[in-house]
Amino acid sequence: MGAVVHTAFVGAAIAAILPMTAARGVPVKKQFFAGTACPSCKALDKVRRCEDAQGLIWLECLACGYTQDLNEGYVDPEEEAAAKAAAQPVTWRPR
């Protein structure tokens, strides 16, 4: 019984530290940023960049659990080319 409680406690502790990792997918690639302070709690050397198998990229703080999506503003070159191909020109004619 003690081992079950210990395993549950460890699982809960990990879930509390990395709350957004499960929501975004399992990070495939992780990289720490040395000398970087967390924008939320100001902890040094606790911020890492994560990327999952689907290509989602985010920052997360291991101290407070803060996350920031880095995919905002990113435009996939293939999607941009498809949108340009589907676009219709607008002709303006003065009266």
**Per-residue pLDDT tens over the stretch 1-58:** 444 444 444 444 444 444 444 456 787 899 998 898 998 999 999 999 998 888 888 9
Full set of structural domains in the chain with CATH: 2-74 (2.20.25)
pTM of the predicted protein model: 0.51
What integer pLDDT is reported at residue 7 of this predicted model? 44
Is the distance from CB of 84 to CB of 78 less than 8 angstroms?
no
Q: Is the pLDDT of residue 60 over 70?
A: yes
Across residues 48-76, what is the average pLDDT? 86
pLDDT, position 23 = 54
Tokens of 83: 């949108």
Beta sheet of 27-32, edge-to-edge order: 27-32, 47-52, 57-61, 67-69
